[in-house]
Amino acid sequence: MIFSRFWYLVLGVAVAGAMFVLFLAMGIANHAEERSAARILNSGSVAVSLYLKDDASRRATALTPLAVNGDVGDALRKAQSTDTVKELDSPVRDKANVALRKFREQAQDFVGFDALFAVDVHGRVVASENFERATGAEGFELGGYPVVADALHGYIRDDSWLFGDDLYRVVARPVETEAGAAPVGAVVGLKKVDDAFARDVVEHTGVSVVFYASGRPIIKATPPASETHLVNLTPDDLAKLAKLGAEDPYQAEGRSKPMLVREEAAYDVRALYVRLPGEAWDLGAGYAVMHQHQRLGSPAEFYANATSEEKRAVPLPLLGAVALVAALVGFVLTSFEHSAPLAGFRRGLAELANKGNAVDVLRPATYRGGYKELAALVNDALDKVASSAGVDRGPADLARVLGPLPTEPTMSAFAAVKPAAAPKVQPAAAPKEEPAPKPKAEAPAAKPRPAQVLEPAALPESLAPIEDDAPADEPPHDEAGESDAGEDEPLASAGPESDEPEDEETEWRRVFEEFLAMKRELGEPVEKLTFDKFRGTLQRNKDALVARHGCERVMFTVYEKQGRAALKASPVK
């Protein structure tokens, strides 16, 4: 069944190859998703950074009307000559506070501020709006913040502040009452990083963002299509940032590489951390741009995640045709190498089981492959069962089993055949002295004796036991007349001395080779048959025939018997 087995191997390799391609494609898809997530995170972090800068620029521009407000400028100018803010006239401070309140209300429509401050050149808060600490309170100064100090020196700056649990985006610009003169103070606007601010960031950038500070998340926002429970940071996630080495890009440059946050059933969540510059830098404030991407856990998820258009693009008729052709080839090969030989072997067994059929053995030569050996084993089993039951299968009807045979009984493996003896003429004698001797009458045919079987252990494998069925009262071969060899082919007696017979060892080796060739041709096993065992069997049969028939030599010939190789032993005078 070499072709069927080869086809099974081909199909197995094809299935393994398909699985290899699927797993390889799954790995490639997951790596592509990781690379895509990294690009999204990098571009998203840049987008958030640009948005924060643009928002600070808009807010600084929006502070311009407040910076040129007369009431604010007058209060800041007068505050320069006082030792404390409390010494400044209350009406002056009140006008400045009213100016801050009106500006905040007017600016809410286009840009919102959660708190406003007017700071004099000493860094003291002269006026404020919507802040819990009272204006002019002892020690309430903002001049120590770099963003305010820069504004007092004439620069427009932005920064991030952390007041308690609140994170603010801060812009400051100088207040100048005279052109070319030094600033008399600065105005500072604060915008709290809250849900509204985070939603504005997401709306303008399209990415999920989480603001954090002091090792804890402050606020987060995600696009509508994202799963908010996945896009989230925990204190444990942020604690990993503090453990990063000084050489890490996050500690050295304030921007990390894309990092895996968590693995869900079908998603990976990754984040890229960016630290906010300025005062908030030292407090670990920053924002994380987050992205969730699908991860394939098995090749079957290719189909689950495919869209309808992608499924329709698969050439299903072509795949079905390939599967059908492969199945048909497998059926044909299996039928040729398995079903047909099995059916033939079944028919042979049915004929063997038919009581009305003369066939009582199988013919191994008519079968293919391993059924030859099975047929030989069945025949051996039948012989063994018959022998165990005391049934003599051979002599019962040898002509039917072995075909036309000589009258001399044959053995199951060796056929002992007696050649027709050449008539011997008595020397002529004088008539007066003694009449010519009458030919001796042939002895009546005796019934065959029971088969004498040699020990099976002494026989080589694949040779049947030796049976000797010669008549008990067979006449000697040296008398006149022919023996009762029957119709068996006559065997030549030893020729003249000039024509010397073949050496016995050489002859037996030749017979052994012919025997092996016949067995191979009939599909019988020959692996365990050796010449030493073969020669021992021939020698024992030769000794038995010589002792019985008084012959000088025994000639062995190879022939086929019922689909199996067999030997005939012929005594030679």
pLDDT > 90? residue 185: yes
Q: Report yes or no: 219 and 297 within 8 Å, Cβ to Cβ.
A: no
How far is the C-alpha of 454 from the C-alpha of 545, rounded, in Å? 13
Kindly state the helix (H) or strand (E) to which residue 570 belongs, with its residue range: strand 564-572
Report pLDDT digits (tens) over 228-245.
777 788 888 888 888 888
Strand ranges in 153-266 using DSSP code E only, listed in sequence order: 157-163, 166-175, 185-192, 208-213, 216-221, 259-263
Confidence band, pLDDT 50/70/90 cuts, at residue 45: very high
- The residue among 152, 128, 149, 124 whose CA lies nearest residue 138 is 124
Residue 432 three-state SS: coil
Helix/strand/coil for 201: helix
What stretch of H or E contains 559?
strand 553-561
CA distances in angstroms from 1 to 8, 341, 346, listed in the order given: 11, 10, 18
pLDDT above 90 coverage of the chain, percent:
21
Which residues is 185 bridged to in the sheet?
A: 120, 175
Q: Fold for domain 63-192?
A: Beta-Lactamase (3.30.450)
Both structure tokens of 37: 């997530």
Residue of higher predicted confidence among 441 and 278: 278
Sheet containing 185-192, strands listed edge to edge, beginning at the edge strand earlier in sequence: 125-129, 115-120, 185-192, 166-175, 157-163
Q: Give yes or no for a contact between 214 and 283, defined as CB atoms under 8 angstroms apart.
A: yes
φ and ψ of 487, to 5 deg: -90, 10
Please give the pLDDT value at position 480. Answer: 31
pLDDT at 458: 37
Cβ pair 358, 398 in contact under 8 A: no
pLDDT in tens, 322-358: 888 988 888 888 887 778 888 888 888 887 787 666 6
Give every CB contact of residue 49 below 8 A, 6+ residues apart in sequence. Answer: 274
- Tell me the C-alpha distance between 88 and 74, whole Å: 11
Give the Cβ contact number of residue 106 at 10 Å: 12
Per the model's pLDDT, the better-predicted residue between 37 and 434 turns out to be 37
Structure tokens of 326? 């492969």
Distance CA(422)–CA(490), nearest Å, equals 11
Q: What is the mean pLDDT of the chain?
A: 77
pLDDT digits (tens, 9 = 90+) for 116-157: 999 999 888 989 898 876 454 555 788 888 999 999 999 999
- Burial of 225 per CB tally in 10 Å (0-12, 13-18, 19+): exposed
Q: What was the pLDDT predicted at 513?
A: 92
Per the model's pLDDT, the better-predicted residue between 80 and 460 turns out to be 80
CA distances in angstroms from 144 to 140, 279, 366, 517, listed in the order given: 11, 11, 110, 112
User: Could you give the 3-state DSSP secondary structure of residue 384?
Assistant: helix
pTM score of the predicted model = 0.55
Choose from 118-127, 261-270, 304-313 the range with maximum mean pLDDT: 118-127
Asked if residue 389 has pLDDT above 80, the reply is: no
Query: Residue 297 — pLDDT band, cuts 50, 70, 90?
Result: confident
Lowest mean pLDDT among 150-164, 206-220, 438-452, 474-488: 474-488
Is the per-residue pLDDT at 412 higher than 60?
no
